Structure 1
Amino acid sequence: MLEEVDSWLTRRSWAASDRPLDRLLAARDRDPRGSSVSVVLPALNEEATVGEIVRVIRRELMEKVPLVDELVVIDSGSTDATSAVARAAGARVVHRDAILPRLPAVPGKGEVLWRSLFVTSGEIVCFVDADLKDFSADFVSGIIGPLLTDPGIQFVKAMYDRPLEDGHAPAGTPAQGGRVTELVARPLLNLHWPKLAGFVQPLGGEYAVRRRLLEQLAFPVGYGVELGLLVDALHTVGLDALAQVDVGVRRHRHQDGQALGRMAATIYRTAQLRLSRGHLVRPMLTQFERDEDGFRPHTYVVDTEERPPVREIAEYTTRRAA
């Protein structure tokens, strides 16, 4: 297995600079419809960062070079000016609750990604988190590159350094940002899905996937979505259809320790479900906070819901047929 992972790393890991923009444009010209690209930003209260991300993508990848066909921000219930800022910067903004209204939405990132497939049309769908700082267009062009130039590749993750800059470590400390990745996701993948051990950022929110693959995958509604999609993609299309691209450095806001604990529980549950398809004994997580009376427990429900493959939804198949 180690040899297989090493071989995959050699053949399926690249830098964004390995595919210049002129090469990507030439590949698009050969198959304009099959290489159409939708970029999706799931957003919840990201007014401080979403505008600059939208502006960079529009300027660099829609106006200077025509690589991206549509840029959509899915607002999952922001209480700030996220929608207005994104719209002013040039994105099409769709509210989560306006998509497939017959099915009430539930909170969660995976829910938003799943619903985005109903309002986008690109044959390549590129997801980008909306909280990134110092955003570079390489986050998009880098990860769509292998999909545009190699028909055998179906799923591409971004890889990057994640410096921790939130006061818990010296500013710029390299590779300390992905705490849930290192403590939960990486051990799970190495122990249970060792073929995926070569992914540097398995939980990263920047990845591009062919629509025909996304149509076949179930979407965990919460933070387990990245792990779930990666594991299911492996089982659906095999390791050689997966790849990763180095896009440099990812800077974003970091969650506090308790939020990370809830994320970790959700990710563990996603893995557990895929290992056994059984039931959790207690789909809850209790955490503690100190107040003037001592430690006070707070119990949270761990996401246990998944959305089915979109090809099983009548509204989706009807829209695609049209």
Structure 2
Amino acid sequence: MLDEVERWLERRSWSVADRSLDRILAVKHATTVSVVLPALNEEATVGDIVSVIRRELMSDAVPLVDELVVIDSGSTDRTAEVAAAAGARVVARDAILPRIPAVPGKGEVLWRSLFVTHGDVVCFVDADLRDFSADFVSGIVGPLLTDPGVDFVKAMYDRPLGDAPGQGGRVTELVARPLLNLHWPQLAGFVQPLGGEYAARRSLLERLPFPVGYGVELGLLVDALHTVGLDALAQVDVGVRKHRHQDGQALGRMAAAIYRTAQLRLSRGHLVRPRLTQFERDETGEGRRFVPRTYDVDTEERPPTADVAEYAHRRVA
């Protein structure tokens, strides 16, 4: 298996510098590209990301991106206003496919985005990135336009944690990477399996189920492997990713959702207890004590969009 991963790394692991924008644009032709930013209370960063994409990838000189959509999943700040002012089309999560009530979760937003975008290639970018570079988009879209054998591309990058280089991605190192190496060793070569920046052909995405929560990245990666095979998957080095980091409690919930996603794909069975109990120090009253807080672990997945009547009717139209 190690030899297979090494061969894959040689054939399907690139740098953003390996494909110039001129080369990508020369082969784009009629293929359309949609960029989707899932956003929840990201007014501090979403505008800059939208502005960079519009300025560097949506001009007459560089018409790489055809559609830029921010899916607002219930922000209570000015996320929607800032994104619209920067030039994105903003769509409220709850306005998409209202027949099916929306549930909280990143995967839910990504799944619904397929119903309101039209690109042949769909590129997902997290909305909390700082010092954003257009390379994050052109780097992962490039292989899909230049190589017809590639269907799914993840970005890879350094993830600093404060001043510590390479120490971000704690859930990746503690949960996702061990799971992939033990159970799906073909995917061991992915540097950032949980990264939120990836692109895929719509024809693949519409065939995949979407975990509604934090397990979406691992679920899509594993299901893409089983659907199109390792050689159709690739990764591109785009440099450094700076973003807002979660606290330890949030990371614990994320880890539980990712483990559950893996568990379902290993057994397709049922969780005995799809809940996670964590502890917080209670500073009120007499004495300091630990108080349990129990959270539901995401247990729902959305079906492939190709199986949803509204999506099929839209394609016919």
| Residue of structure 1 aligned with 2:265, choices 271, 274, 280 | 274
2:246 corresponds to 1:255: yes
How far apart, CA to CA, are the structure 1 residues paired with 2:63 and 2:168?
33
Confirm or deny that 1:59 pairs with 2:55.
Answer: yes
Distance in 2 of aligned mates of 1:253 and 1:131: 6
Q: Map residues 159-178 of structure 1 onto 2, 5 A cutoff.
A: 159-165=156-162, 171=163, 173-178=164-169
**Residue 93 of structure 2 corresponds to residue 96 of structure 1:** yes
Deviation of 1:93 (Å): 0.1
Aligned equivalent of 1:244 = 235
2:42 to 43, 46, 58: 46
Shift of 1:175: 1.2
**Candidates 144, 147, 153, aligned match of 2:144:** 147
What code does the residue aligned with 2:23 have?
R
Deviations 1:32-59 (A, max 9, x none): 1xx2100000000000000000000000
1:77 match: 74
Match of 1:9, as an amino acid?
Answer: L
User: How many angstroms apart in 2 are the aligned matches of 1:207 and 1:9?
Assistant: 17
- After TM superposition, give the deviation of residue 320 of structure 1 in Å: 1.3
Could you tell me which runs of 5 or more consecutive residues in structure 1 were left unpaired when the two chains were aligned. 166-170
In structure 1, distance between residues paired with 2:121 and 2:232? 14
- The residue matched to 2:194 in structure 1 has which SS? coil
Amino acid at match of 1:5: V
1:57 alignment partner AA: I
Letter in 1 for 2:289: G
Q: 1:118 aligns with which of 115, 119, 122?
A: 115
Q: Find the residue that maps to 1:258 and give its secondary structure.
A: helix
Aligned counterparts of 1:49 and 1:2: Cα–Cα separation in 2: 39
Q: Distance in 2 between matches of 1:317 and 1:39?
A: 21
Q: Distance in 2 between matches of 1:28 and 1:190?
A: 35
- 2:178 corresponds in structure 1 to 187
- How far does residue 291 in structure 1 lie from its aligned partner after superposition? 1.4
Count of residues in Structure 1 that have an aligned counterpart in Structure 2: 312
Structural RMSD (CA): 0.5
Aligned AA (1:281): V
Tell me the distance in 2 between the aligned counterparts of 1:124 and 1:321.
19
Relative to the length of structure 1, the TM-score reads 0.96
Deviation at 1:128, TM superposition (A): 0.1
Q: Which amino acid aligns with 2:52?
A: V
Letter of the 1:312 counterpart: D
Task: Supply the distance in 1 between the matched residues of 2:55 and 2:137 (Cα, whole angstroms).
Answer: 13
The structure 1 residue matched to 2:316, chosen from 287, 309, 321, is 321
SS at match of 2:102: coil
Question: Counterpart of 1:22?
Answer: 22
Instruction: State the percentage of identical aligned residues.
Output: 82
| 2:199 corresponds to 1:208 | yes
- Following the alignment from structure 1 to structure 2, what is the Cα–Cα distance between the partners of residues 144 and 279? 36
Which residue does the alignment assign to 1:2? 2
- Following superposition, the deviation at residue 321 of structure 1 comes to 1.5
SS at match of 1:38: strand
Match of 1:9, SS? helix
Separation in 1, partners of 2:161, 2:225: 30
What whole-Å deviation, never above 9, does each CA across 1:49-82 have from its counterpart, x for those lacking one? 0000000000000014000000000000000000
Distance in 1 between the 2:50 and 2:16 partners? 20
Q: Which amino acid aligns with 1:191?
A: L
Give 1:108 shift: 0.2
SS in 1 for 2:200: strand
| Distance in 2, Cα, partners of 1:321 & 1:192 | 39
C-alpha distance after superposition, 1:114-167 (max 9, x if no partner): 0000000000000000000000000000000000000010000000000001xx
Distance 2:120 2:110 in 1: 15
Q: What's the counterpart of residue 132 of structure 2?
A: 135
Q: C-alpha separation between the residues in 2 aligned to 1:280 and 1:147?
A: 36
SS at match of 1:119: coil
